[in-house]
Amino acid sequence: MLSEWNVPFRALVDAAPDGMVVCDERGVLVLVNGEAERMFGYAHDELPGKSIELLLPEHVRPRHHHHLASYASAPRLRPMGGNLDLRGRRKDGSEFPVEISLSPVTTERGLLIIAGVRDVTERRQLERDKARATEYLLSAVEAVQEAFLLFDENDKVVMVNSAARQLLGPAGDAPILGRAFEDILRSSIAAGAYDLGGESPEAWCAHWLAYHREPSGTLELRIGGGRHVRVSERKTADRGTVTMIADITDDVFRGDELRQAREQAEAASAAKSEFLSSMSHELRTPLNAILGFAQLLERDRKQPLSERQIERLGHVQRGGEHLLRLIDDVLDLSRIEAGRIAMSSEPVDLADALTEVVNTLGPMAARAQIQITA
């Protein structure tokens, strides 16, 4: 049967990138090109003269003669199957998805039907992968707690999650998808979804629109129910816009609590400093009197003290002077807290310091029957 075909024509047909199958109106194969033979797993010139039903899945073969007769009665150029999932059957019995376009040719031998066959296995896999990736993306967007909206280059919504639908619910009963940002914003303002803070609706709307057109940083707003939200928008590479709206009410309240706690701590610190300053001055007054009278006793020439009394009076003076220095240190607390205290290192005679400690604590140790030695 191949002898009836011109050899150059056969070479041209074999060079076609898609499979080509030619049959008569009875379904007998007349010509099968090389790509179709490879696609269906048959050897060269193995198919001509056989029924085209060899290339069909078994479950569609009983109805095929009816379809073939229907096409032969009104032949025309058209794709086969419409939206049907068409499949071819290989010689080994395996099936694969195909696309088929039919073309009628009238010859001296009668009607011939040319079927262009394309293996779409890879494309279908890509479509499934794309659909799966889209499902993952939608699932991820839906799982985001913040309100999420994606606008296209015409500033219309192409993706939105349930959090955004709930937040923008006052925008009306119309679906959010496909609506322009300004339309949604004005509808929400009219429905009272936002706390305008005394600003006019037009000015408040213009403020967000300006941010939406040239987003930089974030935008903090108040919405119904006394809630606070933070709007973050970014432009995409294809001139779209990604909008994220996060509820920051808890953060705002915590910030207020921290601010109040800081103010209370600062007030308590000021009260403490005032108390220490007042008490230190109150302690200085009687202590200065004690030291003053101790000096008068030491210098009294009318009734001079004995050496023993002068020695004990020296302990009183030294103890008082030490206490006075401690009071001065208490007064320095305010300067320490402000970071203005100046530290200086000075040489200390350790023997004198130990002797002073023993002399100061000696009377109390004696009363407790404790012996102190330097």
Mean pLDDT (the chain) is 83
Report the pLDDT value the prediction gives residue 80, as an integer from 0 to 100.
81
**CA 126 to chain CA centroid, nearest Å:** 29
**Separation between Cα atoms, residue 46 and residue 238, nearest integer Å:** 52
Please compute the mean of the pLDDT values over residues 137-163 and round it to a whole number: 90
Query: Which stretch of 31-35, 155-159, 202-206, 245-249 has the lowest confidence by average pLDDT?
Result: 245-249
- Calculate the dihedral angle through the C-alpha atoms of 159, 161, 162, 168, rounding to the nearest 10 degrees: -70
Report the pLDDT value the prediction gives residue 369, as an integer from 0 to 100.
79
What are 333-372's pLDDT values in tens digits? 656 665 555 666 778 778 777 777 777 666 667 767 788 7
Give the angle 192-231-256 at the CA atoms, nearest 5°. 85
- Calculate the dihedral angle through the C-alpha atoms of 169, 172, 175, 178, rounding to the nearest 10 degrees: -100
What are 276-292's pLDDT values in tens digits? 667 766 777 787 778 77
DSSP, residue by residue, 310-371: HHHHHHHHHHHHHHHHHHHHHHTHHHHHTT----------HHHHHHHHHHHHHHHHHHTT--
Report the pLDDT value the prediction gives residue 275, as an integer from 0 to 100.
73
Please compute the mean of the pLDDT values over residues 232-252 and round it to a whole number: 88
Report the pLDDT value the prediction gives residue 27, as an integer from 0 to 100.
94
Walk me through the domains of the chain, giving residue ranges and CATH numbers.
2-122 (3.30.450.20), 131-252 (3.30.450.20), 272-343 (1.10.287), 347-374 (no CATH)
- Identify the CA nearest to 54 among candidates 66, 41, 44, 67: 41
Report the pLDDT value the prediction gives residue 232, as an integer from 0 to 100.
92
What are 170-203's pLDDT values in tens digits? 554 567 888 999 998 888 888 888 888 888 989 9
Distances (CA, A) of 144 to 40, 96, 212, 278: 48, 39, 21, 58
Q: Which amino acid is at 336?
A: I
What are 46-63's pLDDT values in tens digits? 999 999 999 999 999 999
| pLDDT at residue 1 greater than cutoff 90 | no
Report the pLDDT value the prediction gives residue 8, as an integer from 0 to 100.
64
Q: What stretch of H or E contains 298?
A: helix 249-299
Percent of the chain with pLDDT over 70: 87
Give the angle 195-223-253 at the CA atoms, nearest 5°. 105
Name which residue leads in pLDDT, 80 or 24: 24
**Separation between Cα atoms, residue 335 and residue 113, nearest integer Å:** 104
- Identify the CA nearest to 98 among candidates 173, 179, 21: 21
